[in-house]
Every structure is written in C-alpha cells, then in structure tokens.
A and B are shown apart, each in its own frame.
Chain A
C-alpha cells in the first residue's frame, strides 16, 4: 500500500484487487465474518418456538431458531450424518423438529439428535455429540448476533464498545429503546459491489451534496462533506425549517420517549464492524445488516424501526421510509458504479482519501491487520 508522491492532503486507499480478488474475499470470510460477532436477524422474526431463519455468515449457512424454552439458538445448518443442508428455506416454522430431507436425521429445537432411521440399533450414538453444531448467540437491541469462532471475542468490547465509542457513552443508544421498537418496513437490497465499498460509502459524507439532495436538505451540514461518523458523539443537526427526518423535511412521528433534548432534532450514525450500520433519529431507527455473499455481491437488509403504537395503528411511515430508501438507492448505485472500476489499471494502486475521508484509512488499517492474522 506504499504510494509515493502523494499530496499531503491525501492518503491512499486499498489497491483495487482488494475489491475484486476472490482469495481476498475468502480470507475476509475466514478472518472477519466467521471470527467476529455478526448480526443476523431481528429477534421478533423468530416469533414462536420452531420459527427459524437461515442466513449466510462467511462461508457457512447458519440456522437461527427459537427453542421451546423461548431462547434463541443458532446452529450450523448442516446435517451431522452426510452433510446435507438441513433447512433449505430462508425462513419458516417447524412444528417440533428439524429433519434432514436426505436420510431423515431429526433434531430437536435444542439441536439434539432426536431420531434417525435405525437409531435404536446404534445405542452407542451419543445424541448430543451428534446433535447440530452450535454457534454462539447473543441478543442485543432486539437483534440476534452470532459468532462462529470457537472462542468469541468479548461482545461487550467489540459490539457494545463500538457503539459507545462512536456515541461517546454507553447510555446514548439505550435512550432509543431499540429492543422495544417494531419493524415498520424492511427493504432488502441486492448490491453488486464489494462489502467494503458499502462500508466506506457509509463512513463518509464527501459525496452527500452530490448524490443525496434530499438528505442534505434535511441535514444541511452534510453539504460540508463531514459525516456524523467523523466525530465522536456528534449528531448532525436538522435544518432550521425541518420538522422531521422525512422526505422533504415535513413532520415526523412521535419522539421516542427516552430520547433526550441533546439528541432531539439530530441524526447519529454508527458502524459496528464488520456489517452493521445504525442511524438514530428522534422518532425512528434505521438498522442495516450486510451479508457479504461474494467479492462483488452484498445483500443489505434494512429495517425501519418505530414505536409499537406507530406500527400497530398503521400510521403512515412512508415519508420517513422514503427518505432513507432514496439515500440507500443513491449509495448502492454509487457502489455498483465503482465495483467494475476496481479492476481497472487506473485503480491498480488504489485511489485517495481527502481529509474528510481520512477516518476511512483507519478502517483499511483494521482490515489489513485482520487479514494478516489467522482467526483464533
């Protein structure tokens, strides 16, 4: 990454091949996505015992489900017998057990092997040892987080710590009561771009005045090019004549009760590495989870979260959804425009970051350090 003759204002980005090389992506799967806490689903998606969801985490398919005792469990979605994928649907509900569609090995909601053809004539088979492989699981902010590492890193340090570091305190996010909000809208974006382009885009606002006219109208300071994430504990102020975080700046919904005066009429943004972005505004929360699928493809699930009475009464959330949906489309269009150029010889040594983007350099350093060390 050594680039010579760089103007003092500029620092270099990663070289283009980091966005195009499947081998780099494989290392990222192993040393980042399979090694860190990874946010997979809204806990309320697992409404009842037997509700399940499958998703891609690194190279693995992970099965998340609610057990009889109400707890959330996570397993590798693989039959212990001959390795067939256990649940082939993305979401669903089983009555009592997960059954492999190949030889009918059958696992309880706690992952234990319950039954299999001829199992009684193999009494030496330990039903726990040959149960599903469990994955570490945590619930926070109403989301299910998993970690595929044998010994996970500290959730408090890596996940909660990242949020506290950006907001300047651990209490700041608690004010929004995110675990008690409900999903008013979910939009899934299938983005043909490397996941790092999406993170980098989210971290800076140098592009805001150019591609986000609607957002800049609501948050005028974004026209200066400095993202809320450039600072610690900084919320971008709403424009003076702006009533709410909506398309056009019209009136929003009821303020979340815990949000304090300092947080009112402000927009906060947080990146929790490696795949979560959280936006906080007084009346709702926008929660993005990325699922990197290939070196040039990333699924992004975005939830708009509201107070329960807003969703229950069928209040119109369209104006608030539409604002950030447009921002997402504008961002992902930019990422998709960038991805093919990553293999151009013009980008072989990478590009440059201007001062308002310099904090992205810290993300690149972090990325290089993760890839340099084997996952533990």
Chain B
C-alpha cells in the first residue's frame, strides 16, 4: 500500500504520476465526479505519460496521439492504442489517497 498524497492536493480534474515504490509508473486521477482511479501511466502505443493527458469524465486522452482509455477498465476505446493499460486499486481513507498495485494482467 502506497500513500500517494492528500486528497485536497489532488483536486477534481487533476492527475498525479506516481513513480516511488511501484514497479512501473502509475497515474492517479480524480475525476470531476469525485471518483479516484489509478492506471499504468505509460500509454501502450508510444511512451507518453497519461498523467499528462486530458481527463474527460472517466476517460483519459493520451496527450501524444489521442488514444482514449477507460479509467475503469484500462481499455482503449480508439486507435492508435490497441492494448489496455493495467488498472490498480485506489481508495481515499482519512483524507489520504492510497494505492494498491495489482499484479493482475491487463483486462
């Protein structure tokens, strides 16, 4: 379990890239609807940080080539990405954003 940050430091619409204590970078998003999601940060098409991408509802658009990933499943909804990113368990407890890195294969 990794403590990412305090939830007030991640306002709705924002994202954060986590690199410490994880095997590969993870992007954590706080959506405008108040949900918090975590996925692998690196786009499966080309090396780009999805935390730098644009959050739309519970989807993120890769900043480089506009691949669009569903934060709930990790699946891309359009080319050029073909493969899903992994999703990770994330929760907010006592004001802290907590991340559990899953070992499961991408959906």
Instruction: Among B17, B46, B54, B65, point to the contact of A96 (Cβ < 8 A).
Output: B54
Q: Is B63 an interface residue (CB 8 A)?
A: yes
Report how far A2 CA is from B52 CA in the complex, Å: 64
Q: Are B64 and A115 within 8 A (Cβ)?
A: yes
Which residue of A has the minimal Cβ distance to B49? A120
Q: Are B54 and A119 within 8 A (Cβ)?
A: no
Known: A97-B63, A106-B64, A120-B41. A115 touches B54 (CB 8 A): no
Known: A120-B17, A120-B25. A115 touches B47 (CB 8 A): no
Which residue of B has the minimal Cβ distance to A96? B54
Q: Is A104 an interface residue (CB 8 A)?
A: yes
Chain B residues with Cβ below 8 Å from A104 are: 46, 64-65
Q: Are B63 and A106 within 8 A (Cβ)?
A: yes
Q: Which of B25, B52, B53, B54 has the most CB of A within 10 A?
A: B52
Size band of the B side of the interface? 10 to 19
Q: Is A278 an interface residue (CB 8 A)?
A: no
What's the dominant secondary structure at chain B's contact region? loop
Q: Are A115 and B46 within 8 A (Cβ)?
A: no
Report how far A114 CA is from B64 CA in the complex, Å: 9
Q: Is B10 an interface residue (CB 8 A)?
A: no
Interface contact tally, CB-CB below 8 A? 34
Chain B residues with Cβ below 8 Å from A7 are: none
Question: Quick one: CB contact mask for A109-125 with B, threshold 8 Å, 1 for yes?
Answer: 00000111111110000
Within 8 A of A (CB), among B15-53: 17, 25, 41-42, 46-49, 52-53
Chain A residues with Cβ below 8 Å from B41 are: 120
- A165: min CB distance to chain B, Å: 49
Instruction: Among B25, B46, B53, B54, point to the contact of A117 (Cβ < 8 A).
Output: B46
Report how far A266 CA is from B65 CA in the complex, Å: 57
- B65: min CB distance to chain A, Å: 7
Chain B residues with Cβ below 8 Å from A97 are: 63
Report how far A115 CA is from B63 CA in the complex, Å: 6
Instruction: Among B17, B46, B47, B54, point to the contact of A121 (Cβ < 8 A).
Output: B47
Q: Other than the known A116-B64, A117-B48, what 11 A-B pairs have Cβ atoms closer than 8 Å? A: A97-B63, A104-B46, A106-B64, A114-B52, A115-B52, A115-B53, A115-B64, A117-B64, A119-B49, A120-B42, A120-B48
10 A-B residue pairings within 8 Å (CB atoms): A99-B64, A104-B64, A106-B64, A115-B48, A117-B48, A119-B49, A120-B42, A120-B47, A120-B48, A120-B49
- Which A residues are closer than 8 A to B by beta carbons? 96-97, 99, 104, 106, 114-121
Closest 10 CB pairs of A and B: A115-B63, A118-B47, A115-B52, A120-B49, A104-B64, A106-B63, A117-B46, A96-B54, A114-B63, A115-B48
